[in-house]
């Protein structure tokens, strides 16, 4: 069975609206003979005469009357699908965006982002979910709209990426900690009791690799899964937390931060999204808002 010719829907819609082959031909800019052939094809396809002569006029059959409203709606829906997207009306937008982020991002940038969303699009809701890995499955499957983090080997190559800001690791201790006074040398830093931060329970990382050539090794007394937990423990003890500086600005309030005494490369925190969202006006607006909030927050 050959597939139906969907162009016939438009022809049928106009024929039923005009009730005349000549009128439908003028509206579709066809010759009367071409329109008559189209009506013949419609009769063959539907198995119904659709329009029958009554005196000098054509009148619709019961089947035509049954189809008239449905066909009109189908044509309108098809036109809406093929029409360019209308201008985004933020004050009328109702949507929930799911953002997947590491600890610290929401605490640092969330308040300003939520405030701007509320001002511009009060019908929009943000749902923040924790980022427990760098896998791109949630973006690919559409369960997450936008993600922030460092691009890694597990990031799918089709994912779109835009840099937000550069960051670096800093050491953090409670106010009054011995490292809050004087120069923090590699030896003083390594001699302290440290918190490891790892989602995979690893007790070794780039900081340890940088200390090793100096003949130094950190003593990691506890491993936690996130920055906020590490900072909470450091705030209440003599433990040392090493966390991203810009990512944890608000979380470190009231604590003493210092530059790490070993060379550590900076890294880029980016926005990530799936290509299916690339041209969506609402998603584009959200991406612009996240970028603006990060720039404004870091400029303060």
CB atoms within 10 A of CB 272: 21
CB 250 within 8 A of CB 107: yes
Q: Which runs of E-coded beta strand occur in the chain?
A: 51-54, 57-60, 95-101, 124-130, 146-149, 160-167, 169-173, 193-197, 219-224, 241-244, 256-259, 267-273
The owner of tokens 């790892």 is 198
Confidence of residue 84 (pLDDT cuts 50, 70, 90): low
For residues 128 and 275, membership in a common domain is answered with yes
At residue 81, the pLDDT reads: 73
For residues 147 and 177, membership in a common domain is answered with no
Q: Does the residue 285 lie in any domain? A: yes
At residue 202, the pLDDT reads: 66
φ/ψ bin of 257: left (φ > 0), alpha (ψ from -120 to 50), beta (otherwise): beta
CB 222 within 8 A of CB 192: no
On the question of pLDDT at 249 being above 80, the answer is yes
At residue 300, the pLDDT reads: 66
On the question of pLDDT at 126 being above 70, the answer is yes
Q: Does the residue 1 lie in any domain? A: no
Least confident of 46-50, 251-255, 281-285: 46-50
> Residues 265-298: pLDDT tens digits?
999 999 999 998 888 999 999 999 999 999 987 7
For residues 193 and 206, membership in a common domain is answered with yes
**What CATH code is carried by the domain that includes residue 240?**
3.40.190.10
At residue 75, the pLDDT reads: 80
**Domain total of the chain:** 3
Exposed/middle/buried for residue 54 (C-beta within 10 Å: 0-12, 13-18, 19+) = exposed
* Mean pLDDT, residues 156-164 taken together: 91
Confidence of residue 176 (pLDDT cuts 50, 70, 90): very high
Confidence of residue 82 (pLDDT cuts 50, 70, 90): confident
CB atoms within 10 A of CB 106: 20
For residues 66 and 133, membership in a common domain is answered with no
At residue 85, the pLDDT reads: 63
For residues 136 and 257, membership in a common domain is answered with no
CA separation for the pair 102, 60 (Å, rounded): 64
CA separation for the pair 223, 91 (Å, rounded): 46
Q: Rounded mean pLDDT of the chain?
A: 89
At residue 50, the pLDDT reads: 85
On the question of pLDDT at 200 being above 80, the answer is no
Q: Which of 157, 167, 170, 136 is nearest to 268 (CA)?
A: 167
At residue 76, the pLDDT reads: 78
* Residue 57 domain boundaries: 7-82
* Mean pLDDT, residues 164-179 taken together: 96
What are the angstrom distances between the C-alpha of 119 and each of 124, 145, 230, 289, 300? 10, 21, 34, 12, 21
At residue 252, the pLDDT reads: 94
At residue 86, the pLDDT reads: 67
On the question of pLDDT at 227 being above 60, the answer is yes
Q: Does the residue 78 lie in any domain? A: yes
CA separation for the pair 160, 170 (Å, rounded): 29
For residues 227 and 277, membership in a common domain is answered with no
């Amino acid at each position: 069975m050959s597939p139906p010719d969907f162009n016939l829907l438009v022809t049928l819609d106009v024929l039923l609206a005009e009730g005349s082959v000549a009128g439908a031909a003028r509206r579709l800019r066809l010759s009367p003979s071409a329109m008559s052939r189209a009506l013949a094809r419609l009769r063959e396809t539907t198995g119904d005469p659709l329009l029958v002569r009554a005196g000098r006029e054509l009148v619709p059959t019961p089947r035509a009357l049954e189809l008239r409203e449905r066909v009109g709606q189908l044509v309108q829906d098809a036109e809406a699908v093929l029409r360019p997207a209308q201008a985004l009306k933020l004050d009328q937008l109702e949507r929930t965006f799911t953002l997947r982020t590491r600890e610290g991002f929401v605490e640092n940038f969330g308040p300003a982002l939520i405030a701007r969303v509320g001002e511009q699009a009060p019908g929009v809701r943000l749902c923040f979910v924790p980022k427990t890995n760098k896998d791109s499955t949630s973006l690919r499957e559409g369960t997450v709209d936008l993600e922030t983090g460092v691009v890694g080997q597990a990031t799918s190559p089709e994912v779109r990426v835009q840099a937000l800001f550069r960051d670096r690791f800093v050491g953090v201790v409670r106010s009054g900690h011995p490292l809050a006074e004087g120069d923090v040398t590699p030896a003083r830093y390594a001699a302290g009791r440290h918190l490891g931060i790892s989602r995979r329970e690893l007790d070794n990382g780039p900081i340890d690799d940088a200390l090793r050539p100096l003949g130094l090794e950190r003593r990691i007394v506890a491993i936690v899964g996130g920055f906020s937990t590490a900072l909470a423990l450091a705030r209440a003890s003599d433990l040392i937390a090493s966390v991203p500086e810009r990512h944890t600005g608000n979380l470190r309030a009231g604590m003493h931060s210092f530059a790490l005494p070993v060379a550590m490369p900076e890294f880029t925190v980016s926005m990530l999204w799936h290509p299916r969202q690339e041209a969506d006006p609402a998603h584009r607006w959200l991406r612009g808002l996240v970028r603006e909030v990060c720039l404004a927050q870091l400029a303060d």
